[in-house]
């Protein structure tokens, strides 16, 4: 019998109401200053402060500080219909791609006095829908969503509720909402060209789910790059994981190698899948990059410290969050946004997981476009 001991004495009638009674209101401040509370309201509000005489402002502020007055954000929000709150929805905070994005968003909104509420969907459409619903109910002024699938029905719910939304990371390719993403296709092209320049011809893709833009465009970029290089003998192969996880990468890599034992390089859909590939290769005693080269994507934390240091495509995650925040802030303010379809440029970080293959000179011929300035950066380990 887990019977509450002390709570029994609090009367049945709305315990919360008297519990919080210590909190000072605008009326307490007014009483202290000997003025009407509307004067206090104006004196404490920077936008209306000019209506009040300076000495009155000082008196009000002194009383407010003395009483430890804190404005009740709920009451204010109810009155003004502005909650100073934004929502961020990710699939899983435990995935290292997301925290930097959320962090950047929180920073941007903290600067303008907004608080950030977060939610995880684990890629369940129902959880996403429930989350959006809950956040709107909570009164968020805007939403930044990193989980939209292509043509996601959740978007309709948001525009119907007339609430600003911007998609980040994954681009639902909806005409109704802005988006901020990295050029996923371009990223895979960088990877394929890099491998081709290193002499690889049998290149495979370990991709992610195709129902989200990241997985889809990375695969398309991979195919496009392979097609461009087809004359040089580059032949594409692809397998897909059900999710962007280490485990799925491991399984997918196993399937890939049993069906195509002759490939020399893998372009993974992201670093999680790449780490999965690495794990499978290690388990099978296959050397990377000795036998098989590997390229990841996103440059998650510590990808330069794993063995071998992973060659990967850097995604400016913090910048994604910042740009998305800028757009959302503009939407909330009602300012027209100039560019509501932002695509950031990926950069290839050449580290240790790609080996160079010697080719007969005749095969080294044709037109691999020189990597454009800034698109490739060498980060070989010194040792």
Residues that bind DNA (CB under 7 A): 13-14, 17, 20, 23, 25-27, 35-39, 41-42, 44-45, 47-48, 50-53, 56, 69, 71-72, 75-76, 78-81
Instruction: Give min distance, CB of 22 to a second copy, in A.
Output: 5
Q: Residue holding tokens 């690495």?
A: 278
Three-state SS at 96: coil
CA distance 376 to 346: 9
Among DNA, a second copy, none, the one that 335 touches (CB under a kind-dependent 5 to 8 A) is a second copy
For the chain, the C-alpha Rg in angstroms (whole number) is: 27
- Measured from the CB atom, the residue of 54 and 125 that comes closer to a second copy is 125
Distances (CA, A) of 119 to 328, 339, 352: 18, 27, 36
- Measured from the CB atom, the residue of 50 and 373 that comes closer to DNA is 50
Instruction: Give min distance, CB of 138 to DNA, in A.
Output: 12
Instruction: Give min distance, CB of 31 to DNA, in A.
Output: 11
Among DNA, a second copy, none, the one that 45 touches (CB under a kind-dependent 5 to 8 A) is DNA
- Report the greatest alpha carbon distance in the chain: 93
- Measured from the CB atom, the residue of 213 and 315 that comes closer to a second copy is 315
117 Cβ neighbours under 8 A, 6+ residues apart: 85, 86, 87, 88, 135, 138, 140
Measured N-to-C along each axis, helices 54-67 and 26-33 cross at an angle, to the nearest 10 degrees, of 120
Q: 195-215: string of b/e by CB count within 10 Å (b at 16+)?
A: bbbbbbbbbbbbbbbbebbbb
Instruction: Give min distance, CB of 308 to a second copy, in A.
Output: 8
Among DNA, a second copy, none, the one that 154 touches (CB under a kind-dependent 5 to 8 A) is none
Among a second copy, DNA, none, the one that 374 touches (CB under a kind-dependent 5 to 8 A) is none
- Measured from the CB atom, the residue of 14 and 383 that comes closer to DNA is 14
Helix (H) or strand (E) holding 298: strand 293-298
By the 10 Å C-beta count (0-12 exposed, 13-18 middle, 19+ buried), 127 is classed as middle
Among DNA, a second copy, none, the one that 382 touches (CB under a kind-dependent 5 to 8 A) is a second copy
Residue 320 CB neighbour total at 10 angstroms: 24
CB-side neighbour CA atoms (13 Å) of 238: 21
- Measured from the CB atom, the residue of 19 and 122 that comes closer to DNA is 19
Instruction: Give min distance, CB of 113 to a second copy, in A.
Output: 8
- Measured from the CB atom, the residue of 21 and 361 that comes closer to DNA is 21
Distances (CA, A) of 222 to 30, 192, 295, 323, 342: 67, 7, 12, 26, 21
Instruction: Give min distance, CB of 29 to DNA, in A.
Output: 8
- Measured from the CB atom, the residue of 27 and 363 that comes closer to DNA is 27
CA distance 90 to 132: 11
Among a second copy, DNA, none, the one that 7 touches (CB under a kind-dependent 5 to 8 A) is a second copy
Which is nearest to 281 in space by CA: 355, 219, 221? 355
Among a second copy, DNA, none, the one that 133 touches (CB under a kind-dependent 5 to 8 A) is a second copy
- Measured from the CB atom, the residue of 196 and 246 that comes closer to a second copy is 246
Which is nearest to 267 in space by CA: 209, 351, 155, 188? 188
Q: Residue holding tokens 């929000």?
A: 77
Among DNA, a second copy, none, the one that 37 touches (CB under a kind-dependent 5 to 8 A) is DNA
CB-side neighbour CA atoms (13 Å) of 87: 25
Among DNA, a second copy, none, the one that 283 touches (CB under a kind-dependent 5 to 8 A) is a second copy
- Measured from the CB atom, the residue of 53 and 262 that comes closer to DNA is 53
Instruction: Give min distance, CB of 102 to a second copy, in A.
Output: 6
């Amino acid at each position: 019998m887990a019977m509450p001991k002390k709570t029994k004495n609090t009367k049945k009638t709305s315990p919360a109401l008297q519990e919080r009674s210590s909190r000072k209101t605008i009326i307490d401040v007014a009483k202290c200053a000997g003025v009407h509370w509307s004067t206090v309201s104006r004196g404490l509000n920077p936008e209306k402060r000019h209506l009040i005489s300076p000495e009155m402002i000082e008196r009000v502020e002194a009383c407010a500080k003395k009483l430890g007055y804190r404005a009740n954000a709920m009451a204010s929000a109810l009155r003004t219909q502005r909650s100073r709150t934004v929502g961020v929805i990710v699939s899983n905070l435990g995935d290292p791609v997301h925290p930097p994005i959320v962090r950047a968003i929180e920073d941007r909104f903290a600067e303008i006095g907004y608080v950030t509420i977060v939610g995880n969907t684990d890629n369940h459409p129902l959880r996403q829908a429930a989350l959006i619903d809950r956040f709107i109910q909570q009164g968020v002024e805007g939403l930044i969503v990193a989980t939209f699938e292509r043509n996601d029905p959740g978007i309709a719910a948001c525009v119907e509720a007339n609430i600003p939304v911007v998609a980040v990371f994954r681009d639902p390719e909806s005409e109704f909402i802005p988006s901020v993403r990295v050029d996923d296709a371009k990223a895979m092209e960088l990877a394929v060209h890099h491998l081709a320049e290193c002499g690889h011809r049998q290149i495979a893709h370990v991709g992610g789910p195709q129902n989200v833009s990241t997985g889809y465009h990375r695969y398309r970029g991979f195919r496009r790059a392979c097609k461009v290089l087809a004359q040089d003998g580059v032949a594409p192969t692809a397998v897909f994981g059900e999710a962007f996880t280490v485990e799925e990468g491991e399984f997918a890599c196993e399937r890939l190698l049993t069906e195509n034992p002759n490939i020399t390089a893998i372009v993974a859909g992201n670093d999680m899948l790449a780490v999965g590939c690495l794990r499978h290769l290690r388990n099978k005693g296959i050397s990377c990059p000795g036998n098989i080269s590997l390229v990841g994507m996103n440059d998650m934390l510590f990808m330069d410290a794993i063995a071998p240091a992973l060659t990967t495509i850097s995604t400016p995650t913090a910048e994604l969050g910042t740009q998305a925040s800028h757009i959302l802030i503009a939407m909330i303010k009602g300012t027209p946004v100039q560019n509501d379809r932002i695509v950031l440029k990926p950069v290839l970080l050449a580290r240790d997981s790609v080996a160079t293959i010697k080719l007969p000179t005749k095969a080294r011929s044709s037109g691999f476009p020189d990597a454009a300035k800034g698109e490739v950066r060498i980060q070989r380990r010194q040792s």
